[in-house]
Amino acid sequence: MTSFKNRAAVVGIGLSPFTENCGKTELRTTCETIKTALEDAGLTPRDVDGMIKQTDDASDEHAVTSAMGMPNLTYYGETRWNGAPCGMMMRAAIGIAAGSCHTVVICRAVNGGSKLRTVPSMRTSGQMSTSDLLHWTFHAPFGLSVETGSVAMMTRKYMAQYGIDKDAFGDIVNVCRENGARNPDGFFYQKEMTLDEYQKSDMLIDPLRKLDCRQEMDGAAAFIVTSLERARDLKQTPIAILGAAQATLPDTESMAGLYRKDIAGMPEVAAVGKRIFEMAGVTPADIDTAQLDDSYSPLVPIQLEELGFCQKGEGVPFCSGGDQIRLNGKIPVNTAGGSLGEGHIHNMNHIIEAVRQLRGTSINQVKDASLGLVVSGAGGPASGLILGR
Amino acid sequence: MFDQYLARKYQTTQRPAPEANLIKEKTAIVGIGATEFSKNSGRSEMQMASEAILAAVEDAGLKIEDIDGLVKFAMDYTDEMHLVSTLGIPDLKYFAECGWGGGASCSTIAHAAAAVATGAANYVVCYRGMNERSGNRYGRVPGVERVMASPNDHYGYIMPYGLAVPPSWVAMFTTRYMHEYGATAEQLGWVSIVLRENACRNPKAIFYDKPATIDDYMASKMIAEPLRLFDCCVDTDGGCAIVVTTAERAKDLKQTPAIIMGATQGIAEQGEMMTSYYRPKISCLPESWYAGQELWHITGVTPKDIDVVQFYDAFTPLIPMQLEEYGFVELGEGCVYCDGGERIRPDGELPCNTSGGHLSEAYLHGMNLINEAVRQIRGTSTNQVQDVELSMVTGGLGVPTSALLLRR
Amino acid sequence: MKMTYVQGIPILRPYIDFDNEEFWKAHQEGKLVFQQCKNCGLTVHRPRPMCPRCLDTEPNWVESTGLGKIYSWTTFRYDRAAYPGIQVPYIVVLVDMVEGVRMLSNLEGVEPEDIEVGMPVEVFFDRVDDDLVLPKFKRRET
């Protein structure tokens, strides 16, 4: 059977500064970050013929092609939900493998901190009855109106089911912040966190503390993906897409499906993990770094379980003290800091770091890293990637 | 800027080679489904989508458990995750969205075909459910709040001047088209009348059994000069769905497969949603030219090989303009070609929109056009063209567009 | 023909952001400006964050002569397909400016049957609301 394994490669990356207020439109940041990624790849806008965007992203194909002078695209589309990042990479790889295009740009820019946002799409203009908001219709009237609430609900059940102590997630936050504190590109550069600070951090939605949650900020990340063949003639070491997958299952909701039998797990992540390991032909033991969705710290141990890095229910003990997930540990996690320690642009920066590790240019370089795993959208419609050099 | 299009020189050197295209001849449409088309469905858009998907899956001779991919319109309110729970799809491996309203129609097939061709999924359903008649009608000005909630700032350059609805956006292109090529209202009228004739023979069409003459066309209400009511599509409630898989799997299924020769997308510089007025030339559809060039490039087919076409026809002028951009006639000759209607009737040189199209069957954002293109391959259209080998469909205009070529 | 706005229905406002505010602000001072690239001199409309020719991100804002010719137009005749805040009929035009860019606006002072492609026009500024000045066009004697 044909496959899109090892047919496409990441050849350019761009990352904007993370700020509280960048003072620019999201479209301007998008164009600048794509320009950086193209320069990194040694390409120009005229080389681009594909584009995949996050559905809710403000900068559409028209705006970007008009501003950057891209004459024509033959493959473009949108991917929704928090699980979009790896899913977008998968669509790029599919389009390239199918011969629909040769060079795809993917960018996500969010003015989450400054809120200087281009108004998002019409579908969220206050109409509760639309079906993508179906589950909010049943939650919001009771005051559960933000995704943090759904994650808190899931976390509470997870803690009860596996006997996890209060504040046990502090070690995970700590490792992310340690990594982030060494990363000059990150929002939390030189801002290490102590466990004491964590324990004193405000309780937002019990059991989630403020420091368990990613912070809204302004930032952007862009990628250039092209065929492995073309990639070999370009400036950078090609980082091949060896495995990529998505999963939506019955009772999946946009964040933490609360109606499934066992809510202390993430079956979508398990399905994604199975598919990407199978596709890449590797096992968890072969992976050198894992960039996991850490929008909320409790998501990390559950992903480690679902992906098979540890047994079910052992995610928290696995992360306890942090040594097993540190740079020289069993599986280094979120080596640039992730959402909690580097910055939050909806998990796009996690893929950037996976690429840096494989290029050997990470600020927290894992020695001889040759396989990197990324997960986005933990808890909802999920996606995953295995990249290799 | 725009040099490639103005010189009509498609640069294929940068394109992936046609031999590298995994969609061509290796993928197929194996199931189609639709709800009834009406002015008031009385049910939710999610139910419309679900009914259409079940119908398409059954038409293909498949079970819902076989479905492992869904491609939706970005502007469709019915999300794949709720369909998964509603229909009982056990494991969705591929889900994707295509933007730009009706421009997404053939794009959904392009992405679904790429997914099955590369093994990302086995059976992908593309769908659209819309209560566009009883709900939010696109032809009416939306509420102030919704206009201001535009995802981009381009509304700011048209709305304050009152250029507020799709017919007026297309009217601006049409004025210019008529000015440059001397096209007449009667010529546009024949497009409308031929499609109405087709709908009169299609029991599913909104305008079934409701004949109209060219005099009726000329007497119809002026909406935004030069466009009359009969130049505009019929707002509809309905749902459509299409099942895509590999040509190999199609062999074992119930229906004659409609083999996908090519499914392409096209976008051009300096575009904006239906108001790309800042280009050197606006009496044309550059996106369609790009989608067409890529389609001919991949498939090796030429316009004269095509047996029947379903052109995206939200407004009458779009048919003559597409005849030009896809290369069926020279620039400026589209309207003359449609004059009198003979050439575009089911027994003409190039039968167009044989179900009645958006103007007279239903406006389902292009998805009902794909269904009709498949029926023409199967030989089951109510306006069946004889011995169809190659059946073509195009996606929405004035936006990033798409095109699809099917063969028996 | 002069446009008549319906009391009580707000005129739809542009969405003003960092990339386009210079264009909209200038109208308050009775000026029409276009974005021109500082690096390569390309003039574009609508405003955008980057020059599509050289990818420079810094624009100049150059004042327009306000002179142009009609490129295309449409007349709104049917109230249910028009913006309810403006009485039909009203005319929307595309104007090719002498600076080489095209812009969309209204035409006033001309009857619909007298308009033709190529008609010379010039800009004037209409304060349509306390906070909103729109550049509109009228016939120009050559």
Could A131 and B78 be called an inter-chain contact, meaning their C-beta atoms sit closer than 8 Å? yes
Rounded to an integer, what distance in angstroms lies between the CA atom of residue A121 and that of residue B151?
Answer: 5
Which of C48, C54, C101 is most worth mutating to test chain A (most A CB atoms within 10 A of its CB)?
Answer: C48
CA distance A191 to chain B (A): 36
User: Residue C54 pLDDT > 90, yes or no?
Assistant: yes
Structure tokens given for B354:
């044989």
List chain A residues with CB under 8 Å of B77.
123, 130-132
Task: Tell me which of B36-50, B367-381, C3-17, C38-52 is least confident.
Answer: C3-17
Could B163 and C92 be called an inter-chain contact, meaning their C-beta atoms sit closer than 8 Å? yes
List chain C residues with CB under 8 Å of B223.
77-78, 81
Touching check for C14 and chain A: CB below 8 Å? Answer: no
Residue B181 to residues A82, B176, B284, C90: CA-CA distances in angstroms?
50, 9, 11, 25
User: Residue A124 pLDDT > 70, yes or no?
Assistant: no
Contact predicate A81/A75, CB 8 Å: no
Touching check for A99 and chain C: CB below 8 Å? Answer: no
CA distance B18 to chain C (A): 30
Tally C-beta pairs within 8 A across A and B: 202
Could A3 and B119 be called an inter-chain contact, meaning their C-beta atoms sit closer than 8 Å? yes
Q: Which residues of chain B have pLDDT under 50?
A: 148-151
Strands B124-131, B69-73: pairing is parallel
B85, B97, B119 member nearest A80 (Cβ) = B97
Which has more pLDDT, C77 or B178? B178
pLDDT at site B155: 82
Number of neighbours of residue A300 by Cβ within 10 angstroms: 31
Of the listed B177, B217, B290, B312, which one is catalytic?
B312
Amino acid at A221: A
* A210-239 as b/e: b if 16+ CB within 10 A: ebbbbbebbbbbbbbbbbbebbeebebbbb
User: Residue A158 pLDDT > 90, yes or no?
Assistant: yes
C18, C52, C53 member nearest A25 (Cβ) = C18
Which of B118, B125, B244 is most worth mutating to test chain A (most A CB atoms within 10 A of its CB)?
Answer: B118
B154, B156, B162 member nearest C90 (Cβ) = B162
Closest CA to B369 of B175, B173, B202: B202
CA distance A64 to chain B (A): 9
List chain C residues with CB under 8 Å of A66.
48, 52
- The SS3 call for residue A347 is coil
- The SS3 call for residue A164 is coil
Backbone angles phi, psi at A117, to 5 degrees: -105, 140
pLDDT at site A148: 87
Average pLDDT of span A283-298:
98
Could B162 and C81 be called an inter-chain contact, meaning their C-beta atoms sit closer than 8 Å? no
pLDDT tens by residue, A18-62: 999 999 999 999 999 999 999 999 999 999 999 999 988 989 999
Q: What is the rounded average pLDDT for all residues in chain A?
A: 92
C17, C18, C52 member nearest A67 (Cβ) = C52
Could C48 and A119 be called an inter-chain contact, meaning their C-beta atoms sit closer than 8 Å? no
Average pLDDT of span A365-379:
97
Q: Locate the chain A residue with the closest alpha carbon to C17.
A: A25
Q: What is the rounded average pLDDT for all residues in chain C?
A: 93
List chain C residues with CB under 8 Å of B165.
81-82
**C neighbours by CB contacts (3+ pairs under 8 Å):** A, B
C17, C18, C52 member nearest A66 (Cβ) = C52
Q: Locate the chain C residue with the closest alpha carbon to A25.
A: C18
Task: Tell me which of A99-113, A375-389, B178-192, C2-16 is least confident.
Answer: C2-16
Q: Which residues contact B90 (CB under 8 A, 6 or more apart)?
A: A249, A250, B65
Domain boundaries, chain A: 8-119+213-388
**B neighbours by CB contacts (3+ pairs under 8 Å):** A, C
A23, A68, A118 member nearest C50 (Cβ) = A68
Q: What is the reported pTM?
A: 0.95
Could C46 and B153 be called an inter-chain contact, meaning their C-beta atoms sit closer than 8 Å? yes
Closest CA to B119 of A58, C87, C128, A3: A3
Residue B94 known to be catalytic? no
Q: What is the CATH number of domain C66-142?
A: 2.40.50.840
Q: Does domain A8-119+213-388 have CATH number 3.40.47.10?
A: yes
Q: Which residues contact B284 (CB under 8 A, 6 or more apart)?
A: B177, B321, B324, B325, B331
Could A58 and B152 be called an inter-chain contact, meaning their C-beta atoms sit closer than 8 Å? yes
Touching check for B224 and chain C: CB below 8 Å? Answer: yes
Rounded to an integer, what distance in angstroms lies between the CA atom of residue C88 and that of residue C129?
Answer: 19
User: Residue A130 pLDDT > 60, yes or no?
Assistant: no
Residues of chain B numbered 49-108 and touching chain A (CB < 8 Å): 74-75, 77-82, 84-85, 88-99, 107
Strands A75-79, A289-291: pairing is unpaired
Contact predicate A249/A271, CB 8 Å: yes
Q: Predicted ipTM? A: 0.96
pLDDT at site B154: 81
Burial class for C131, CB neighbours closer than 10 Å (0-12, 13-18, 19+): exposed
HSE, CB side, 13 Å, CA atoms: give it for residue A111. Answer: 20
Contact predicate B231/B178, CB 8 Å: no
Residue B312 known to be catalytic? yes
Tally C-beta pairs within 8 A across A and C: 43
CA distance C141 to chain B (A): 22
- DSSP codes joined into one string, B47-115: HHHHHHHHHHHHHHT--GGG--EEEEETT-S--HHHHHHHHT-S-B-EEEEE-SGGGGHHHHHHHHHHH
CA distance A107 to chain B (A): 16
C-alpha torsion sign, points B342, B348, B350, B356: positive
Could A24 and C53 be called an inter-chain contact, meaning their C-beta atoms sit closer than 8 Å? no
Domain boundaries, chain C: 16-63, 66-142
Task: Tell me which of A102-106, A141-145, A367-371, B12-16 is least confident.
Answer: A141-145
pLDDT tens by residue, B218-235: 999 999 999 999 999 999
CA distance A290 to chain C (A): 35
CA distance A363 to chain C (A): 29
pLDDT at site B144: 56
Rounded to an integer, what distance in angstroms lies between the CA atom of residue C60 and that of residue B385?
Answer: 58
Q: Locate the chain C residue with the closest alpha carbon to B137.
A: C81
CA distance B379 to chain C (A): 39
Which of B3, B47, B81 is most worth mutating to test chain A (most A CB atoms within 10 A of its CB)?
Answer: B81
Tally C-beta pairs within 8 A across B and C: 129
Could B225 and C77 be called an inter-chain contact, meaning their C-beta atoms sit closer than 8 Å? yes
Contact predicate A45/C55, CB 8 Å: yes
Q: Which residues contact A367 (CB under 8 A, 6 or more apart)?
A: none
pLDDT tens by residue, A302-348: 999 999 999 999 999 999 999 999 999 999 999 999 999 999 999 99
Could C50 and A24 be called an inter-chain contact, meaning their C-beta atoms sit closer than 8 Å? no
